[in-house]
Structure 1
Amino acid sequence: MSVEIVSKHHQAQGAFDFGRIRENKPIGFPHERGGISSMSNLFYWAHAWSDTGGLIDTHPHQGFEIMSYVLGGKISHYDTKYDRWLDLDTGDAQVIRAGNGISHAEKVLPGGEFFQIWFDPDLTKTMKKEASYSDIKSSDFPTKTLANGQAKTIIGQGSPFEIDAEGIEVTDISEISKRWDMTLDKEKVYSIYVVEGEGKVARSSVAPNDFLVVKSEDQIAIDFTGKARLFIIQSPSKVSYKTYAEGQLI
């Protein structure tokens, strides 16, 4: 089985607000050490948290589509388009379609924890669009009970989110009990973050905050020792446009 495992200790590390906000990055920016490089149109992935609360001050974005997903606690977001602060609670999500440019800021409240993930659309098109947002409450995402878990579709069939980056599906799988089996498409890349649970995959151990990349496989099985939770992004092996990582300039 072609599975690459990147442990938290081998991911890129970051901090904001004098260390009040900490990050591990399974997919870091090109200049950062640790983690892995962008894949297809999945450009960046950070797991951020704060015990005391902290601020990521106002900063600009262009072109990319940026999703924040609250794993626990609360974060608050400000942007120059609407000039307001908006709270996101556990299970809520937001997508910024940065378009031709926007600036925003984020507060992580004490105990807050979230993913920030960047998708890489066709920048020759998105750079000509006005920036826009989607803010979705947890209860508005479709959920489905599986044989061994609960699937919440963040991006994909039935989700209220719409993005321009092609072929992206995002699912939060919770309440997994011991073994997890999943049928895969060999033409897709599966990026899997272990939010909760310890176990083994392809004779290798996995633990919370480990990151798995699965390519050219038609199935995966993870044997957990107890309850587990996985955050899974499916992206195409190849996209129909040149990505930023391939040299497309903003």
Structure 2
Amino acid sequence: MAQHHEQGAYARGIRKVRTAPIQQVGPGHRNSYILEPGLWEEHDPFLFLAEDWFRRGSFDLHPHRGIETVTYVMEGKLEHFDTKTNQIDYLLPGDAQWMTAGRGVIHKEDPAPGETVHSLQLWVNLPRAHKMTEPYYQNLRSADMAVRSEPGATIRVFSGSSGKAKAGTRNIVPVTMVEFTLEPGAAVKQELPGAYNGFLFVLEGEGRFGRDGTKGETRSVLFLDSAEGHERSEIELAAVTKLRALLYAGQPLREPVVAQGPFVMNTYEEIVQAYEDYRNGKFA
């Protein structure tokens, strides 16, 4: 039965590959846009993905509305504070935080004293019906994460599922976020709904991706082709050298996007309202 299942899945290819450059933003802060902001339709439901290497003081208290942020810490100890809970929390390497800003949060993410943090932060757009939802946080601890094991492969599931491993993460927009660690010569397939839009980011190593075996190496961003019209799809990853890669895929919203600063809404009027509400102390 499972065999028939796989044969029915559309084998996705890679439609585009880019290399994400790194830039110096300021003292003690380097940044790279894995997904560049502004390409709302192409990346839907994702707004951007930023990679940062930063020290304490790089980001101060700031607000958000209309989005979710997914912060994955790869190195260092990250301190998180928000005005909703008024508590300090910590994320360690391998941990992630899924923050639903909804109608408004004010928070700060700062490396612990003396630490340099290397992190990835994804912005997920919220649909019109959920822009003003009550804010909440989910800390995804490395030790508690669902893991799928295959010959020569370990797959950590932050959100969604991989094989029989399923994350308990609560999603408003359905998102699959998984990290693959493959030994040289190992290959795995990841199933995705055909409607999902997505991409891979190679953290280290070299691999072949998709039905045509498109090459990807450290810092490559590989965009999946569309599987529109297919209920199921799958993407294959094969390691040439030891490979670490992240897959992000989600259900597109197909709604208008108006973004300004830390706010992402559907109309300019809603952006003006967001700034007004923030100034008037109406955020959590």
Pairwise TM-score range, normalised by the shorter structure = 0.7 to 0.9
Indicate conservation of the 8 Å contact 1:38/1:245, yes or no.
no
CA distance in 2, matches of 1:73, 1:174: 20
Question: How far apart, in 2, do the equivalents of 1:7 and 1:36 lie?
Answer: 19
Higher mean C-alpha deviation, range 226-235 or range 171-180: 171-180
Contact 2:40 2:46 (C-alpha < 8 Å) held by counterparts: no
Within-5 A mapping of 1:139-178: 139-157=143-161, 158-165=166-173, 167-178=174-185
Residue 14 of structure 2 contacts residue 214 of structure 2 at CA under 8 Å; is this kept in 1? no
Aligned to 2:93: 90
1:137 aligns with 2:141: yes
Deviation per residue, 1:42-70 (Å, 9 max, x gap)? 111111113x5553111110010111111
1:49, 1:111 → 2: CA distance? 7
- Matched length: 237
Deviations 1:60-115 (A, max 9, x none): 10010111111122211111111222110011111111111111111135342111
**TM-score, structure 2 normalization:** 0.73
SS of equivalent residue, structure 1 residue 83: coil
Deviation at 1:130, TM superposition (A): 2.1
Q: Which residue, 11, 29, 33 being the options, matches 1:25?
A: 33
CA contact 1:38–1:44 (8 Å) conserved in 2: no
Alpha carbons of structure 1 residues 53 and 38: separation in structure 2 relative to 1, 3 Å: farther
Matched, 1:126 2:131: yes
Read off the aligned partner of 1:47 and give its amino acid letter: E
* Aligned-pair CA distance for 1:203: 6.5
Gaps of 5+ in 2: 1-12, 228-232, 260-264, 271-284
Identity %: 20
Residue 147 of structure 1, CA deviation: 2.7
The correspondence of residues 210-249 of structure 1 with structure 2, limited to 5 A, is 210-216=220-226, 218-236=233-251, 238-239=252-253, 242-244=255-257, 248-249=266-267
8 Å contact kept, 2:153–2:186: no
* Pairwise CA RMSD: 2.7
CA distance, structure 2, for counterparts of residue 66 and residue 89 of structure 1: 17
On the 8 A contact 1:68/1:95 being kept in 2, the answer is yes
Residues 147, 155 of structure 2: 8 Å contact kept? yes
Distance in structure 2 (CA, Å) of the matches to 1:106 and 1:123? 27
Q: Mind listing any 5+ residue stretches in structure 1 that lack a counterpart?
A: none
In structure 2, the partner of 1:73 is: 76
Give me the whole-angstrom Cα distance separating, in 2, the residues matched to 1:199 and 1:136. 27
> What secondary structure does 1:124 align onto?
helix
Q: Which residue of 1 aligns with 2:119?
A: 114
Cα distance change, pair 223–245 in 1 and its aligned pair in 2 (3 A): farther
Which structure has more relative contact order (CA 8 Å, sep 6+)? It is: 2
Name the structure 1 match of 2:18.
6
Whole-Å separation in 2 of the counterparts to 1:71 and 1:103: 24
Is residue 75–residue 112 contact of structure 1 (8 Å, CA) maintained in 2? yes
The answer to which structure has the higher helix fraction is 2
CA distance in 2, matches of 1:4, 1:138: 31
